[in-house]
């Protein structure tokens, strides 16, 4: 079974998908840059399935997660993690609570992407509490199981945000800083799949997730700054 947990300490490439096909809701500014076509998604999965070191995630709880992503994953016996925005549940173009339960029952991991898709660094402590604890409670009820993982909306985090995430007991937090991650790390970087990504490009990432030395060094420096600011 491809797409599940990897060996302790091994290096993985986390991919972050958003919507597939035609959106069923109004998109946020520039969000269309991260939607992929149906055929494109199928072709990308064919490549991903050849690399056990690649992990699949989805953000934003779009309806296409259940309608298109889940069947495509099932056909290839792949697993993925779906990060849900609790405030969008049961809204047009987004997952229903029943679909979130179905994802969990299919063996997919269900995590939290917050309540209102807001950058967490910009929130005061009360609103951050709602985004972390309140959202996770709603998602857990829909999924029928506890929520142990979160993904920071817009990759927005700092030391205060990470401290709050730890305080709530989440076992893993995902960002969109790019580049590979250690499979057992608490903080997991992801590469965000874009509308213009090709199977060949994803295969290059899977084979050499660090890329060129200078960009990789810059990514690590950027992540360090975020963790300590």
Query: What are the sequence ranges of the domains in the chain?
Result: 11-228
pLDDT at position 208: 87
pLDDT at position 212: 57
Nearest-CA neighbor of 21 among 32, 36, 33, 40? Answer: 36
pLDDT at position 223: 54
pLDDT at position 5: 42
pLDDT at position 6: 41
Contact 181, 12 (CB under 8 A): yes
pLDDT at position 215: 54
pLDDT at position 221: 55
pLDDT at position 229: 47
Torsion of CA 172, 174, 180, 184, to 10 degrees: 0
pLDDT at position 4: 43
pLDDT at position 225: 52
Residue spans of the chain under pLDDT 70 = 1-8, 211-229
Q: Return the biggest CA–CA distance within the chain.
A: 45
pLDDT at position 216: 53
pLDDT at position 1: 38
Q: How far apart are CA 115 and CA 135, in angstroms?
A: 5
CA dist 134 → 91, 115, 139, 162, 170 (Å):
18, 8, 9, 17, 13
Pick the CATH number of 11-228 from 3.30.479.30, 3.20.20.370, 3.30.2130.10, 3.30.200.20: 3.20.20.370
Contact 189, 149 (CB under 8 A): no
């Amino acid at each position: 079974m491809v797409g599940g947990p990897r060996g302790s300490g091994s290096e993985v490439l986390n991919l972050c998908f958003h919507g597939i096909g035609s959106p069923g809701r109004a998109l946020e500014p520039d969000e269309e840059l991260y939607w992929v076509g149906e055929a494109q998604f199928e072709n990308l999965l064919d490549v991903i399935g050849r690399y056990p070191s690649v992990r699949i995630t989805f953000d934003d709880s779009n309806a296409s997660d259940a309608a298109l992503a889940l069947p495509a994953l099932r056909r290839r016996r792949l697993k993925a993690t779906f990060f849900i925005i609790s405030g969008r549940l049961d809204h047009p173009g987004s997952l229903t609570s029943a679909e979130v339960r179905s994802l969990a029952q299919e063996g997919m991991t269900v995590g939290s992407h917050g309540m209102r898709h807001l950058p967490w660094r910009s929130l005061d402590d009360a609103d951050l509490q709602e985004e972390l604890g309140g959202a996770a409670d709603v998602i857990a009820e829909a999924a029928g199981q506890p929520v142990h993982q979160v993904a920071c909306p817009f990759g927005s985090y700092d030391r205060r945000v990470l401290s709050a995430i730890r305080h709530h007991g989440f076992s893993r937090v995902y960002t969109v800083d790019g580049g590979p991650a250690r499979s057992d790390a608490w903080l997991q970087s992801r590469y965000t799949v874009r509308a213009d990504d090709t199977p060949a490009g994803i295969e290059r990432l899977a084979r050499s997730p660090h890329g060129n030395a200078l960009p990789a060094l810059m990514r690590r420096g950027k992540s360090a700054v975020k963790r300590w600011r």
